[in-house]
Chain A
Amino acid sequence: MTVQTGIQPISATRRAKDRLVQVLVYLAFALAVIPLVSVLWLVVKNGIGRFDMEFFTHSMRNIGARDAGGGAYHAIIGTLEQVLLASLIAVPIGLLTAVYLVEYGEGGRLSRTISFFVDVMTGVPSVVSGLFVLAFWILVLGMPFSGFAGALALSILMMPVVVRATEEMLRLVPRELREASYALGVPKWRTIVKVVLPTALPGIVTGVMLAVARVAGETAPLLLTVFVTDSINNDPFNGPQMGLPLYVFNQTILPTDVAVARAWTGALTLILIVMLLNLVARLITWWRSPARRR
């Protein structure tokens, strides 16, 4: 075999390989998109039937399994309150933990230990966090079933996601920016608040929204902590509440078409709520970014 030298056209085998890999990549992409699109399609197709005013303004009080009508107002309120409370608990703690790990921990023993437990928490099944709150908050401390108990369980699931996402983003902020700020005589804590966090903000918001999306769809921890109700309860600190995932679960186990239709619409509403929250968060970061003033 002679070794060819000099500038040559692309060989036929390389062309063939290129085509093959291209086809494989597109195929993999299509495979990944199929479940996503089919889920969306199914939920929209089946959920649109009960997507009416009554669904968003009424609860399930005094509505039996065979009755048409009824709505998820109580569940929507519950989900919004529980997710908001969970975020209020988990986001500050997660953010501060990440700031400690990146800016102050410097690979010491404490930061390694925290890092390890954050990893462990990431792997905790959602039922376990619900069980923990049930055992500790409700059984040992004697607190009632409430939306807040659910929020506690959800915040346990959110925290590690927020910590990891924020940590990644903070590590991406170049060292030169911190040094530029120090060189202006800005103390470390102000550098973090005014330079590091704003630079990492879009990424942090994405991470927080992923965490919100994750917990908004959790059923198991809610089942054990907020209990279940068919009535409207606006107070998340007292008495059983509802949540959309619970609502969907409760309606699907009923053997009637009207109940199953309600479940589909509940699922559609949940997807829309998460999408809407995402959109709002993105708008806020866009609003604050200097690119807007270009």
Chain B
Amino acid sequence: MAKQIEVAGLDAYYGSHKAIEGISMTIEPRSVTAFIGPSGCGKSTFLRTLNRMHEVIPGARVEGKVRLEDQDLYGPEIDPVSVRRTIGMVFQRPNPFPTMSIYDNVAAGLRLNGRVSRSQLDGIVEESLKGANLWNEVKDRLARPGAGLSGGQQQRLCIARAIAVRPQVLLMDEPCSALDPISTLAIEDLISKLKQDYTIVIVTHNMQQAARVSDRTAFFNLAAQGQPGKLVEMDETSKIFTNPAEKATEDYITGRFG
């Protein structure tokens, strides 16, 4: 199920402003890759180019190549909708659909995409909620609104919603930044569990979190305000945090800037 992503010479723009430049990397399947770096360095922008979510912003465009195994995601014949179905995403702020119940939120991706039988749906909803470690907390109130849950529960609901469509890759954009430490721990446990089946990419501002959950870490930086962000280095997480190749990485990790 999990697949490898290969990025080559990727630039992303907002209108005429170049946000990231010349990024090339390989993201391994069945592992967690963390993106770290100071604010505004283009981590989130880069993450959104991986499932063609960048281009939904008016004026935004991408140059370069992103390959999922043998497919070019930006090929002219590729349907961006199918790309997003294959590469799921969890956002910074929990965003359950306010008009839908817990059950409907998890079922949304499947229901909005086509016909699934009710019994099949029941199975997938239960499985996804169990996968997101939320089942025991909500199994008695599946018909209640998703927006009535706590922040941490909402974020796990969003993860359940994302894995319900069975993606091959899961992108997470600072999934814990709006959560308390206990909910954060629950999500981190979940990430470690999910990596057995999915390729996971996580953007985080929390370096301890990157060190805890990820197998490989990529450090992004920008030369100056207004300049495009670049990939400084990418390596095994243990190496990045103990013996990085670049001075800038070391400075950032030890808290000398950013």
Chain A positions within 8 Å of B, measured between CB atoms, are: 106-107, 174, 176-187, 190-191, 194-195, 198-199, 201, 289-291, 293-294
* Number of B residues with CB within 8 Å of any CB on chain A: 34
Whether A184 and B145, one on each chain, are in contact in the complex, defined by CB atoms closer than 8 angstroms, is no
Out of B53, B58, B98, which one reaches A182, CB within 8 Å?
Answer: B53
Residue of B89, B95, B145 touching A177 (CB-CB under 8 A): B95
Nearest chain A CB to B140's CB is how many angstroms away? 13
Question: Which of B51, B96, B97, B144 interacts with A183 by CB under 8 Å?
Answer: B51
Residue B162 interfacial (CB < 8 Å): yes
Min Cβ gap A150→B in Å is 36
The answer to whether B100 touches A290, judged by C-beta atoms less than 8 angstroms apart, is yes
Q: Would you call B58 and A106 a contact (CB within 8 A)?
A: yes
Are A198's CB and B84's CB within 8 A? no
Shortest beta-carbon contacts, A-B, top 7: A185-B85, A184-B109, A183-B89, A290-B145, A176-B95, A198-B99, A186-B112
- Residues of B121-165 whose CB lies within 8 A of A: 143-145, 147-148, 158, 161-162, 165
B residues touching A (Cβ–Cβ < 8 Å)? 51, 53, 56, 58, 81-86, 88-89, 91, 93, 95-101, 108-109, 112-113, 143-145, 147-148, 158, 161-162, 165
Q: Which of A106, A185, A199 contacts B165 (CB 8 A)?
A: A185
A293 engages B144 (CB within 8 Å): yes
In the assembly, what is the distance between CA of A186 and CA of B100, in Å? 16
Q: B89 → chain A, closest Cβ, in Å?
A: 4
Task: For the complex formed, measure the closest distance between the CB of B195 and the CB atoms of chain A, giving whole angstroms.
Answer: 19
Contact of B112 among A178, A179, A190, A290 (CB under 8 A): A190
Q: A177-B97, A290-B99 are in contact. Are A185 and B53 (CB under 8 A)?
A: no
* Residue pair A293, B91 in contact (C-beta under 8 Å): no
Contact B145 A176 (CB under 8 A): no
Give Cα A180–Cα B97 distance, bound, in whole angstroms.
8
